[in-house]
């Protein structure tokens, strides 16, 4: 009986260590998502944007998201989409990667690693410009402005600077594509996210009277701030 109690206390301590570890580990790495991350990406998205769902609906939602990510995202020719992930516990370098450089599916890199780590946060950046105002009489896709969406950090990893790191990496990605600005839509009822973006140098842009700017397709009553940052703008926080 006493031995059983020790085992139980030992198991509890081990669990505490497992729970404590992520909060003290500095080893968050932000990198391009690989196919092996896609379930955790779906999980991070759904648990962050739909936290009220519980089993089995949450599971159905994750599967739906996964299928959407891998099959539903058609990218127009010449455009790019990249999903970034912040992982903990993975290898820092890309030492043990398998797969080819060219194979990509729905913003995911086709490579695999022996030590993938655990996804704590996600962000998508693209050059598709579906949610940017079109230009000219022919309503052409806007170029030079990369679009950020799906920024989410798992609840227990929040307020550790993970979203900031993801945004910084997205900006670097946009610069490497030769883009001059990044833009996003932020729900008017999400002051935490708005503060995050403002502190990172994004500014709200107001559409002129009568302009019909595109908006992300969510619930009809959700209203957005359109925010933009020129890539030479400094941030107010480190």
Q: Smallest distance, Å, CB 183 to ligand ACO?
A: 9
Quote the CA–CA distance of 130 and 143 in Å, as a whole number.
11
Q: Which is nearer to ligand ACO, 51 or 72 (CB)?
A: 51
The H or E element spanning position 45 is: helix 38-49
Tokens (6 digits) for 230? 């020129």
The beta-carbon contacts of 58-67 under 8 Å, at least 24 apart in sequence, are 66/38, 66/39, 66/42
Asked about 197 being catalytic, the answer comes back as: yes
Nearest alpha-carbon partner for 50 in 164, 155, 183: 155
DSSP state letters, 103-158: -EETTEE--EES---EEEEEEEEES--TTS--BTTTTBPP-SEEEEEEEEE-GGGT
Minimum CB separation of residue 128 from ligand ACO in Å reads 15
The site for ligand ACO (CB under 6 A) is made up of 48-49, 121, 148-153, 158-164, 184, 186, 190, 192-193, 195-196, 199
The active-site residue, picked from 53, 118, 147, 197, is 197
Least CB distance to ligand ACO at residue 205 (A): 14
Q: CA 69 to CA 61: how far, in whole Å?
A: 12
Minimum distance between the CB of residue 75 and ligand ACO, rounded to whole angstroms? Answer: 19
160 or 169, CB closer to ligand ACO?
160
- Nearer Cβ to ligand ACO, position 34 or 198? 198
Shorter beta-carbon distance to ligand ACO: residue 113 or 154: 154
- Report, as residue numbers or ranges, the catalytic residues: 197
């Amino acid at each position: 009986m006493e031995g059983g109690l020790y085992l139980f206390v030992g198991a509890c301590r081990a669990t505490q260590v497992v729970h404590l570890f992520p909060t003290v580990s500095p080893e968050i790495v932000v990198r391009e998502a690989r196919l092996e991350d896609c379930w955790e990406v779906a999980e991070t998205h759904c648990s962050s944007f739909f936290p009220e769902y519980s089993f089995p609906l949450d599971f159905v939602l994750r599967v739906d998201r996964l299928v959407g990510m891998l099959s539903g995202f058609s990218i127009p020719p010449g455009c790019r989409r990249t999903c970034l992930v912040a992982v903990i516990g993975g290898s820092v370098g890309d030492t043990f990667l398998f797969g080819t450089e060219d194979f990509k599916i729905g913003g995911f890199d086709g490579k695999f690693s022996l030590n993938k780590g655990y996804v704590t946060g996600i962000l998508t950046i693209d050059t598709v410009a579906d949610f940017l105002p079109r230009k000219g009489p022919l309503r052409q896709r806007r170029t030079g402005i990369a679009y950020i969406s799906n920024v989410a950090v798992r609840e227990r990893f929040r307020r550790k600077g993970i979203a900031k790191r993801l945004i910084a990496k997205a900006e670097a990605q946009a610069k490497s594509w030769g883009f001059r600005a990044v833009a996003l839509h932020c729900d008017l009822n999400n002051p935490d996210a708005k503060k995050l973006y403002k502190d990172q140098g994004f500014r709200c842009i107001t559409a002129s009277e009568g302009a019909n700017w595109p908006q992300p397709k969510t619930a009809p009553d959700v209203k957005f701030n359109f925010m933009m940052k020129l890539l030479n703008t400094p941030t107010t926080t480190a």
